[in-house]
Amino acid sequence: MTADADDALLALLSTLRGRGYEFVTPTPASHARVIARPGRQGAHDLRDALGWSLPFAPGALDQEVESLLARADMLDPLGGGLVKARVRVSSLHGQLFLHSAFPTDARDSIFFGPDSYRFADLIAAELSASPLPPGSHIVDMGAGAGVGGIAAALASRDACITLTDLNPHAIRFARINARAAGVPVDTVTGDTLVGVADPIDFAIINPPYIVDDSARAYRHGGGMHGGEVPLAMTRIAADRIAPGGRLILYSGAAIVAGRNSLCEAVINLAAERGLRCACRETDPDVFGEELSKPAYADVERIALIAATLTRPA
């Protein structure tokens, strides 16, 4: 993509902020139910077009916004004289974030949803309770739209921020979202921490944790009922935490016969590496619709967990 297209997306966020735009992104299941209601087949305002991803006729909405979407090559023709934005914009902690339009069927979709809000809240609470020293290096591993790293930067003093993701489209949107929030960032494309400089004082991870039939990278957590990827990312980050540093894992965990195997594995990992660890459930039951799938035939529930791993100073 060109620098002009990126500048257009940055200007889009600024323009929407000036319009007082806000949109809270629900789960895909809730989103689908809402837009299936009568009278929801076309956009009537900016929230319909850029939040609910509804089609619209060119010229029917805010002309400046439409011009910026066209300049950024973010309008798809649908036939019948209608177009649809290829991007959504959501609000969180007073900032606006670009991410993928609904439905997020593509393998390189950029995730944003209820977990983004929970993750940002977890980071803000962690850094309020235990602030980082000025100049700390924060790494958001698998950053997606950049929510975690941006939230951590806004809650810290003079932090150095690195965002990583294996999806170059996510890195692009994360960089634009960071610019819109006034947060300088470095970005690294990849699924490891190769290319990320030491020391890492605060690592944060919001990994994919659902067993996805299409194995989309932003969603598929692999084996262990979706816990394989969260554990692997935690292992990589745990080996890079500086003395006195912390790692925060926010993830879903499948509960089988009353056992939280992901928390158990993370606690064992921490013990092997001499790290202090606390792992707790923050929500006992999410994404219940997934339990009807064969991959979850023996799963009682999917819980949300927060794990904190700390290396002694």
In this structure, are 129 and 277 located in the same domain? yes
Q: pLDDT tier at 2 (50, 70, 90 boundaries)?
A: confident
pLDDT, tens digit, for every residue of 98-139? 999 999 999 999 999 999 999 999 999 999 999 999 999 999
For residue 1, pLDDT over 70 is answered with no
pLDDT of residue 189: 97
pLDDT of residue 3: 87
pLDDT of residue 150: 98
241 occurs within a structural domain: yes
Global pTM reads 0.96
In this structure, are 206 and 176 located in the same domain? yes
In this structure, are 150 and 246 located in the same domain? yes
Of 42, 72, 100, which closes a domain?
Answer: 100
**Domain span at residue 163?**
114-310
In this structure, are 177 and 262 located in the same domain? yes
In this structure, are 167 and 226 located in the same domain? yes
Q: What is the CA radius of gyration of the chain?
A: 20
In this structure, are 132 and 82 located in the same domain? no
Closest to 112 measured CA to CA, from 28, 40, 46, 178 = 28
CB 85 within 8 A of CB 55: no
Angle formed by the axes of helices 147-154 and 168-181, nearest 10°: 20
In this structure, are 63 and 170 located in the same domain? no
Of 100, 128, 161, which closes a domain?
Answer: 100
In this structure, are 12 and 143 located in the same domain? no
Tokens of 66: 């439409």
What CATH number does the domain containing 147 carry?
3.40.50.150
pLDDT, tens digit, for every residue of 145-158? 999 999 999 999 99
Of 50, 66, 100, which closes a domain?
Answer: 100
Looking at this protein, which amino acid is placed at residue 145?
A
108 occurs within a structural domain: no
Tally the domains of the chain: 2
Closest to 96 measured CA to CA, from 188, 182, 7, 207 = 182
> What is the sign, positive or negative, of the torsion defined by CA atoms of 167, 171, 177, 183?
positive
Closest to 102 measured CA to CA, from 32, 162, 158 = 32
pLDDT of residue 41: 86
